[in-house]
Amino acid sequence: MQLHYGLNDLKDIDFMTFLPIILPFIAVGTLLVLIALIDLYRHRKTRKNALIWTLIILFVNTLGPILYFVLGRKDGERS
């Protein structure tokens, strides 16, 4: 029984078989980021810390846009 796999074992894996499984997750994540950035851009004058929210949306992958829609939109509505 082999417990450790080396880099040579990765050559045997056909990554194209995983593409139909991974592609919907990539598409949803990208769409979520784009919608969050568009919303932030449209309401940039009423949002506080637009630069910080942009960085959070871009660099905290799927969780960043979700945090923006839950917390960031409320931040702008209070003022």
What distance in Å separates the CA atoms of residue 51 and residue 53, rounded to the nearest whole number? Answer: 5
Residue 6 has pLDDT above 80, yes or no: no
Distance of alpha carbon 79 from alpha carbon 74, whole angstroms: 9
Domain boundaries, the chain: 27-79
In single-letter form, the type of residue at position 6 comes to G
Q: Is 8 a residue whose pLDDT tops 80?
A: no
Residue 37: predicted pLDDT: 94
Q: Quick check: helix, strand or coil at residue 30?
A: helix
- pLDDT given for residue 78 in this prediction: 53
Helices 19-42/50-59 angle, 10° precision = 180
Residue with tokens 């078989």: 17
Confirm whether pTM is higher than 0.85. no
Q: Is the pLDDT of residue 25 over 80?
A: yes
Rounded average pLDDT over 25-37: 93
**Mean pLDDT computed over 26-35:** 93
